[in-house]
Amino acid sequence: MCAKTIDTKDITYDSLLQGNKDWVKDTIDSDPAFFDKLSAGQAPPVLWIGCSDSRVPANQITNTRPGDIFVHRNIANVVVHTDMNLLSVLDYSINVLKVKHVIVCGHYGCGGVKAALGDKQVGLIDNWLRNIRDVYRLHDQELSAIQDPDQKFDRLVELNAIEGAAKVMNTSIVQSAWANGQDLSVHAWVYSLKTGLIKDLKVTTKSLDDVSPAFKVS
């Protein structure tokens, strides 16, 4: 039987530590060898690039276990070619862990995307959100034609994930993996907080054939 969870408002520093102990006990009761197997190493088949939003935990919404998904998260799941944190994660996951799938997953209702749609200063994050405004600029004709603000918001969330996947695909890291014959696919998804379901945006790329000549590296 799983340990009882507590309401968010009742979470304290001490309750987190107790929650860990409860989880360990329940896990060992269910699988006595779980932590022996977990500590032996990791070989996740998936790299997840997602939003830092606390409501979008990669393992939970995909019904997977610790060790199944390598994760990188930032505000609004933005992919930037000068982000050494993201590039380091991407390089390690592809060249060391040999993941087979890289998934850029946004989520409807994303606060970062919503802020990028507005014209108010938020703070330091404004510089980060410029990357999403660039996505809007690239798709200005399509987005400007959408009159309903909620639909426009949702579509920008989708386009941000799609552009993120394209930027992953265009990195020298991914292109080198493909050039060496590595089995690797890049995908764009969006998660719905209202339904709990993931939407596959159908932009999967699997080879150098999908890379624009402007971004190909030799």
Q: Which of 53, 105, 154, 187 is catalytic?
A: 53
Q: Which of 72, 105, 107, 187 is catalytic?
A: 107
Say how many C-beta atoms besides its own lie within 10 A of residue 101's C-beta.
17
Q: Which of 51, 72, 105, 187 is catalytic?
A: 51
Active site residue 51: yes
Long-range contacts of 25-28, Cβ-Cβ distance < 8 Å, separation of 24 or more: 26/1, 26/2
Active site residue 107: yes
The span from the first CA to the last CA of the chain, in angstroms, equals 55
What is the bridge-based pairing of β-strands 101-107 and 198-200?
Answer: unpaired
Q: Which of 105, 110, 154, 187 is catalytic?
A: 110
Contact predicate 77/50, CB 8 Å? yes
Q: Which of 26, 31, 55, 130 is catalytic?
A: 55
Active site residue 2: no
| H or E, element range at 82 | none
Query: Which of the residues are catalytic?
Result: 51, 53, 55, 107, 110
